[in-house]
Amino acid sequence: MRHYEIVFLVHPDQSDQTSSILSKLDKLIKASGGTVHRSENIGNRKLAYPIQDQFKASYGLINIECNQETVAEIKNSFKFNDSIIRNLIVTTKKAHTKDSALLIQTKEDNEKDTYEEAREQVKKLEEDNLQKEEKEEKKEKKEKKEITEHSKEKTVEESPNETIEEI
């Protein structure tokens, strides 16, 4: 038996099928006497170039040890599955059991996106607070200006009355 690494891309509208495809492959391989060393649902990722007018796809990866007939059956199932837009089956020298570089990079990107989203939210809140403070300052200045204008008008009105009383 040989070791294989299988990567497949699922149409983004049907990305929820990635897990079911992985489980079907798992059952097929175990039924034929093979072993599954690693099975990963990597999730949606941006594609380097569009495939079938799609810019994102859901990635699935599985490392297996099985015979050639099972690989032929897997290829045939990929051929007739409309949700799989691309696949690659590669022979490897040994079994890989650690997380794939693609999965690690996806996790890092998701953490990075979460961090950036949090920073954007904080920045937006700070801008909103600054705008509120500026509005309040303008309102206070306007009120002070109205008060001073009103007091000037009052003093002007009181002045003639005083002169009349003095006469």
- pTM greater than 0.75: no
Confidence of residue 26 (pLDDT cuts 50, 70, 90): very high
Spell out the long-range contacts of 101-107 with Cβ–Cβ below 8 A and sequence spacing 24 or more: 102/42, 102/45, 102/59, 102/61, 103/40, 103/42, 103/61, 106/42, 106/43, 106/45, 106/59
The Cα 114–Cα 71 span in angstroms is 39
The pairing of beta strand 35-51 with beta strand 54-66: antiparallel
- Best mean pLDDT range from 64-78, 95-109, 131-145: 64-78
Which tokens hold the place of 69? Answer: 């007939």
Residue type, 85: I
- Domain 2-97 belongs to what architecture? 2-Layer Sandwich (3.30)
Residue ranges per domain, the chain? 2-97, 99-167
Q: What is the pLDDT of residues 47-66, one digit of tens each?
A: 999 999 999 999 999 999 99
Confidence of residue 83 (pLDDT cuts 50, 70, 90): very high
